[in-house]
Each structure stands twice: as structure tokens, then as C-alpha cells.
Chains A and B, each alone.
Chain A
Amino acid sequence: MTEYPRHVEGVEINQVADGYVVYHAARDRVHYLNQTATIVLELCNGKNDAAKIASLLQTAYELPDLPLEEVSGCLGQLRAEGLIA
């Protein structure tokens, strides 16, 4: 498991008003991401670790607390679905 996740190759991302519809051809699976998961996926560019992603989300949404636990959970789901490595 890499410390700096990035989304995998061969993933077709379709943006809609309030989320993403992601098609993963290698697994022939379609994923439906809400806005938060979408932002987390966008930040998985190989340059941000979980703490940095949480910090960016905290700033973007003006959150009182660092959402590290939520980000870790989301990264776990994205990893389990094969969308990030």
C-alpha cells in the first residue's frame, strides 16, 4: 500500500453535477461516487498522503476537525474497489 495514493490507469471518469460515475474497464465495474469521494479521488495524484488530503478537505469545507478518519475510510474503499493504488 503506497503512502501517496494515485488513481489507477484505465479508469474512465465521467463527471456529473454532484459526483462521479467511474467505469473501470479492467474489472468491468461501474462506481458511483458522491462529492466527497470525488474530491478524495481527485486528490489521489501521487503527491498527497492521507493527512494532506484530510488537511485540504478541512480547508475546503471549513471543517472544525481534521477528517483523517473519514479520509482513511474513503481511501480504503477506493483501494478495495481498485480505483487507487
Chain B
Amino acid sequence: MTLAVATDTVGAGERHFQLLALSVRIATDCPILDRKLEYLVQDARQDYPMTDEIRLEALRHADGYRICEAGGEPRIEADSSMALGRLHIRAYERAYEILPSTGLFLHAACGSYNGRRFLLLGDSGAGKTTLITQLLSLGALAEGDELALLEGDGLSALPRRFHIKSLGIGHFPWLRSQLHRLPCHDNGDGTSIYAFAPSDWGFPWHIRNAGVDAVLLLDPNHGGQSRIQEIPHHQMIQHAIAHLRPLDRGERSWIPALCRHFDRAFCGRLVLGSLDSAASLLISKLGDLPATG
């Protein structure tokens, strides 16, 4: 079954968006929660075919919010933040459930420049979100900032707003001047996370399901120089396997697909010094590669 693609706001209090193969609808009768849903909802155009749907309701209740799903037991959440968290978890949980078990998630940002598609592999804090957002402002197409699904012959960024930490927002004056437009999550420790959607700033946001031309392992070198050093494919696969999340932990049937994808790509370590120099180096390197489309 393939569902028609549509991403929009349906009537008052109902949000509709795509999460890979899943069509998600979330309805609420609460304007406060509806506004908070901006943090979760995105309008990325996605190539991944939708095959299933979920509809969640979050209705005001004497004790908070009543979260309902067809065929499931209602759950009560005490406030709008907890309700948002529950809706977030359930939507992504369901999206993962319907993906083929042979797939896997790579901890990587994804984008393309002049027809060359790239992955930026790295741990949390390595600079994936910062670099992909910087590249966006330099003319790249940014698809995702955190996870990429490798399944069959295609690789798709996980559709999610980019999570820019408040400590890193200073890198982007064009965002800093309009923070009021960014949905925000308060971490409760004086920091927060801004949920950025390229489309909100007029950038195209198209998540393709295709191969990659370059895989870069991010190696932070704060305050130092940036450089790109080519590394053997088998070493890059070793790094990737150390940082991936298979959908079925009982099998390793995804190894051949991972090897096929990486074998077609340039593999390198991107030592990330200053943001400007790293972005320039990457753009230059991508320009040297043959475009595979």
C-alpha cells in the first residue's frame, strides 16, 4: 500500500506530516499544545514511500492531557510539555516499527552540494548540526542533522527539525536575529534547543532516498586548523559500525548494503577547526568528486 504524500496543517488543531513511511496526524483541542507541536512537526519533502498512518489525539483533561491512539489505551500526561514528549515518542516509535528490519540508522547529518550528496558521521557534539547548517547558508541542500536511514539501495535522512543548541546559535547571525521564529525546548539547565526547519527560512528541504558520493567522519579540533584526510573504505565502515543503530539487533544482514553504499563514496576524516574553513574545505572537496546524481 502506498499513501499519497501530503504535508500540511489540516483544520484547526490537527497537524499532518510524514515520518519516512508513516503518515502522522496529531489533533489537539489545546492552543498551547498546538503551538508546542511546532517543535515536532516538519514539512520536509520526502522520497520515502508512505505505507502506513497513525492518528494521535491529545485532548484537555481534568488531570492534564489525555493521549489517545486508535486501538490503544489512553494515557494521561500532566502538562503540555509531557504531552508533547509522549506524542513525539509515539510517532517516532511507530515510524521505526514499520521500517524493514534490514535497515539501520547511521549517526550522521546528510546533505548535498552541486549534485554531490554527502554524509557527516559523528558523535553527539562533533559538530554535525552546526556544519550542516553552515553549509546550508553557503548554498548546500541540507536534508538532516542527526540520523540517516540506510535501507536497501537508498539512504534517507531522518525527517526532523535540526536541533541547534543555544550555545551554538551564535554561529548563525541570520538565525540569532529571529529567534522568536524558532520553536524552542528549555533543557531546564539554562540551555535550550532550537528546532530549525530549512523551509521556514526559504531553503528547499527535500529528503531524498538515494546513494551518497562522500562520507566524512567529523573529528572536532576546536580552535585548530581544518583539514580533510582520505581514509580507506574498510576503516570508514569500521567507524560507521561503531556508531550505528540497526533496526534488528539480532542480525547483521545490513553489512553488505553498508559496504555497497560506502564503496561508491569518497571516505575521509574531516578535522573540524573553524566552521568557515571546514565548510569551505568540504565544498571544495565535493567539487572535485564526480557527480553521480
Interface size on A, residues (CB 8 A): 16
Q: Are A21 and B252 in contact (CB under 8 A)?
A: no
Q: Which chain A residues lie closer than 8 Å to B126 at the CB level? A: none
Judge whether A4 is part of the interface by a CB distance below 8 angstroms: no
Q: Which chain A residues lie closer than 8 Å to B259 at the CB level? A: 14-16, 21
Whole-angstrom CA separation of A25 from B238 in the bound complex: 17
Judge whether B262 is part of the interface by a CB distance below 8 angstroms: yes
Whether A12 touches B255, Cβ cut-off 8 Å, given contacts A17-B263, A30-B241, A32-B238, is yes
Whole-angstrom CA separation of A78 from B238 in the bound complex: 17
Which residues A1-51 have CB closer than 8 A to chain B?
12, 14-21, 23, 25, 28, 30, 32-34
What's the A-B contact tally at a CB cutoff of 8 Å?
43
Interface 1/0 per residue, B216-256 and A, CB below 8 Å: 00000000000000001111011001000000000010011
Q: Are A17 and B252 in contact (CB under 8 A)?
A: no
Q: Which chain B residues lie closer than 8 Å to A21 at the CB level? A: 234, 237-238, 255, 258-259
Q: Are A34 and B234 in contact (CB under 8 A)?
A: yes
Whole-angstrom CA separation of A23 from B246 in the bound complex: 15
Interface size on B, residues (CB 8 A): 14
**Which residue in chain A gives the minimum CB-CB distance to B251?**
A25
Whole-angstrom CA separation of A51 from B61 in the bound complex: 80
- Expressed in whole angstroms, the minimum distance between the Cβ of A13 and any Cβ of chain B is 10
- Expressed in whole angstroms, the minimum distance between the Cβ of A39 and any Cβ of chain B is 14
Whole-angstrom CA separation of A18 from B230 in the bound complex: 12
Identify which of A16, A20, A25 gathers the most chain B CB atoms within 10 Å of its CB. Answer: A16
Q: Are B252 and A28 in contact (CB under 8 A)?
A: yes
Interface 1/0 per residue, B186-215 and A, CB below 8 Å: 000000000000000000000000000000
Q: Which chain A residues lie closer than 8 Å to B237 at the CB level? A: 16, 21, 32
Which residues B154-201 have CB closer than 8 A to chain A?
none
Q: Are B234 and A18 in contact (CB under 8 A)?
A: yes
- Expressed in whole angstroms, the minimum distance between the Cβ of A14 and any Cβ of chain B is 4
Which of the residues A15, A18, A20, A30 comes within 8 Å of B252, measured between beta carbons? A30
Whole-angstrom CA separation of A34 from B263 in the bound complex: 14
Which of the residues A19, A23, A28, A30 comes within 8 Å of B233, measured between beta carbons? A19
Which of the residues A12, A16, A28 comes within 8 Å of B262, measured between beta carbons? A16
Which of the residues B232, B252, B256, B258 comes within 8 Å of A34, measured between beta carbons? B232
Whole-angstrom CA separation of A20 from B232 in the bound complex: 11
Identify which of B234, B238, B259 gathers the most chain A CB atoms within 10 Å of its CB. Answer: B234
Q: Which residues in A have some Cβ–Cβ distance to B below 8 Å?
A: 12, 14-21, 23, 25, 28, 30, 32-34
Q: Which residues in B have some Cβ–Cβ distance to A below 8 Å?
A: 232-235, 237-238, 241, 252, 255-256, 258-259, 262-263
Interface CB pairs A-B, < 8 A, 21: A14-B255, A14-B259, A16-B234, A16-B237, A16-B259, A17-B263, A18-B232, A18-B233, A19-B232, A19-B234, A21-B237, A21-B255, A21-B259, A23-B255, A28-B252, A30-B238, A30-B241, A30-B252, A32-B238, A34-B232, A34-B234
